[in-house]
Amino acid sequence: MTIVIFLLVLTAAGLGGYALLVHVGLDDLEAWAGGRVAGLVLVAMPAWWAGVVGVHQWRSVGVVVLVVCAVVGGVVAWRRGAWRQLLVAEVIFWTAVAVVIVIRLDHPQIVLTEKPMDMGILASLLRAESFPPPDMWLAGEALPYYYWGALLWTVPLSIASLPLEIGYNLIVALIGGMVVSLLWMLGRRAGGSHWSGLLVAFFGLFAGTPDGLRQLFAGGSLAKLDYWHSSRQITDTITEFPLFTIWLGDLHPHLLSMPIICLALLIAWQAGRHGPTVLQTVALAVLFGVAWAANPWSMPPTLVGIALLLFAGPDRWHWPGGDGTRRWLAVAAIAVGGWIVTAPFHLEFQPFFQGVKMVFAWTPLGSLLLYAGCLLIPAALAALALLQRFVGGDDEANRAIVLLGLAAVMVVAAASGRPTLVMLAAICVLFIIAVLGPLSCEDRPVFALAALGIFLFLVPEIVYVADSYGEDLHRMNTVFKSYIQAWIFVAVALPVLLRWGLKRQGARLVMVAVMVLVALPHLTGMFLQQVVAEERGVDGMRWMTAGDRAIVRYLRQQPPGTVIAEVVGGAYTEYARLSAASGVPAYLGWANHESVWRGNKILPETERRKELITRLYTSSDAEAILLTVEEAGIHLVAIGSLESKDFSKQQLAELAAAGEVVLDEDGGQVVRFASPIDGRSASGPDMMEP
């Protein structure tokens, strides 16, 4: 029943989003496709601001806004009566949702990778009384990470009282439905038909990489494809592609921000046709601000994508002056307004940024094609067609010049030793020329997005964002965050790239058939895995022991301010499971992530806390145990499966005897030493103060 309530709440928000998007200028089909995304933003924004200014019941503000959305949206939908368009949008959405649910049935577990962190952020938001929310892995401190993408789902989860272990996996599928719906609408705009929408939706989210076909040729089987290898296609980097991300179910910022970015592009495309209105500018500013706060990596591409669609009108490129001035001022307003609408987040969030540096490793062209060949080959064909058009003249001379140009690019690529950089740069330059110069048709905005996508593939060949992962992995995150966004931008342009690259319809059909054949192995393998799976479901905590689940249920009932101690272990493991699943801050969780978020200055504090936890679980002196929990401000101590594995029965028995056992179920225990109403909180170092 809670699932039904959750979906009804989401639909109610979607009604409000639909009403807004219709007034922004989208047609009924587009407005309903983006309605749920817009509705979640409409509900979350005032609720978040209420929490920022100190309203502890900020979720109630979201509930009020949700009711208004449902009423206003219902009236607008009834008056417009566009039931056929709404039905089409719903079929697209729920089909995509169903596909995502099915391919994830055999691995719903929220464990390993960074899924526990993502669940922990959601759980923390469900308990938060203000913002930023508490850090679930360093009690007494605020979360130093971008949480806005998860925040969008907090009010619906709260209203429905949907268990997070179910809600998490449902959100993954719903995001898949939202992204597919919006990609379909973007593709429909690019190519002018639902077939174009289907093409973009498939290659934008459900297409695998050519590496899947390579594995089959190497003797692999469809049911045993190595998806992880495909997501690490380039040495020492992460090359996740959208299908892998949605299959993995990692509710990380790059996935959470996808539907927001797609909706912003759709509105910007409409606004660019005749120049942005005030309402369109405001809507774009809010969406840009939310995308920025949800995933700072998406800030530059989202703003540039919006700007390109506003500048690249179907008639011409708009420079400042005349009508162009209004467009450029609108982009400035969107940039500034986006920061303002989420200003409290930006003022609190201090990213551990080490600068931008020149790369000293490059991507082999073959590896890049094994990742994005289905996107880059149509782009290269379209670039050649553009070159041929720019040259002009008779056909024979034209072909000769194009061949000479192609030969020149290949020679430079070979001579430089960096063929990937040279070829991407050549394609990007041709697309830019088309956008700024002689192209005068509806395809200008599409080539603008394609140029941005190719540029994002190009970025890691030149620079990288420095982080704490060392020289060998210096490009890891930059490749990851650039490529997965580049994938979406180029996928949106596919209908136009194919039409320009292959003039004959028969040739295009053959090309699409080949591309689908190359892209299908991963998705087909994911379906086949469900046939042979021994266990299926959507319960993200099914991997936990009954005792651990009992502890989580108990913790979720505890008041805000509660601090728990659980055994400390390595990142990307089962450790920190109780704080992640409940949202109750642990005295220390994944220490590795704290150093990634806060920098090496936090290492002495995490080491101190780790030693204190070890002392707490191993002490045989009741008085020493009491002094330890008082020193740390710990209220509850968990004794579950990992604690029983890492410490002896005698040690755990003495720990339990020192406090009050308030839960003893299925091998899981919770020992109470204090309550948050005592006014004590976990202690932190002076070094963490600004």
Read off the pLDDT band of 687 (50, 70, 90): very low
Check pLDDT > 90 for residue 619. Answer: yes
Helix, strand or coil for residue 636? strand
**Pick from 12-16, 42-46, 381-385: least confident:** 381-385
CA distance 44 to 34: 16
Q: Is the pLDDT of residue 402 over 70?
A: no
User: 156 preceded by cis ω (within 30°)?
Assistant: no
Residue 213 CA to residue 374 CA, distance in Å, equals: 12
Q: What is the pLDDT of residue 411?
A: 66
Whether 379 shows a pLDDT value over 60: the answer reads yes
Share of the chain above pLDDT 90, in %: 83
Residue 470's pLDDT is 79
Q: How far is CA 524 from CA 124, 249, 510, 538, in A?
A: 36, 18, 20, 20
Say yes or no to pLDDT of 636 above 50.
yes
DSSP string, 483-543: HHHHHHHHHHHHHHHHHHH--SHHHHHHHHHHHHHHHHHHHHHHHHHHHH-S---S-TTTT
Q: Report helix, strand or coil for 63.
A: helix
**Percentage of the chain lying above the pLDDT 70 cut:** 94
β-pair partners for 637: 565, 671
Contact criterion met (CB below 8 Å) for 166 and 3:
yes
**Arithmetic mean of pLDDT, 385-412:** 69
pTM of the model: 0.94
User: Which letter does DSSP use for residue 680 in this model?
Assistant: -
Q: Reply yes or no on whether the pLDDT at 622 is more than 70.
A: yes
What pLDDT, on the 0 to 100 scale, is given for residue 403? 64
Average pLDDT over residues 138-149: 95
Average pLDDT estimate for 259-277: 96
Classify residue 430 as left (phi > 0), alpha (psi -120 to 50) or beta: alpha
Cα separation, 608 vs 304, whole angstroms: 44
Look at residue 387 in the predicted model and tell me its pLDDT: 85
For residue 599, the model assigns a pLDDT of: 85
pLDDT at 266 over 50: yes
Residue 364 has pLDDT above 50, yes or no: yes
Please name the residue that has the structure tokens 């939706």: 201
Instruction: Count the neighbouring beta carbons within 10 Å of the beta carbon of residue 210.
Output: 22
The band of 596, judged by pLDDT with boundaries at 50, 70 and 90, is confident
Q: How many residues make up the chain in this entry?
A: 690
When pLDDT is averaged across residues 246-264 and rounded to a whole number, the result is 96
**pLDDT tens-place string over residues 446-460:** 999 999 999 999 999
Report, as an integer, the average pLDDT of 8-37.
97
Mean pLDDT over 424-452 rounds to: 89
Pair 286, 334: CB distance under 8 Å? no
DSSP 617-628: HH---HHHHHHH
Least confident of 249-258, 351-360, 484-493, 535-544: 351-360
Going across the sheet that includes 564-565, the strands are 564-565, 636-639, 668-672, 660-665
Q: What is the average pLDDT value for the chain, to the nearest integer?
A: 93
Confidence (pLDDT) at 391: 75
Confidence band for 686, pLDDT divided at 50, 70 and 90:
very low
Is 354's pLDDT higher than 80?
Answer: no
pLDDT for position 678: 59
Closest CA relative to residue 245, chosen from 291, 206, 191, 217:
206
pLDDT at 690 over 90: no
Cα–Cα distance measured from residue 451 to residue 624, given in angstroms and rounded to the nearest whole number:
64
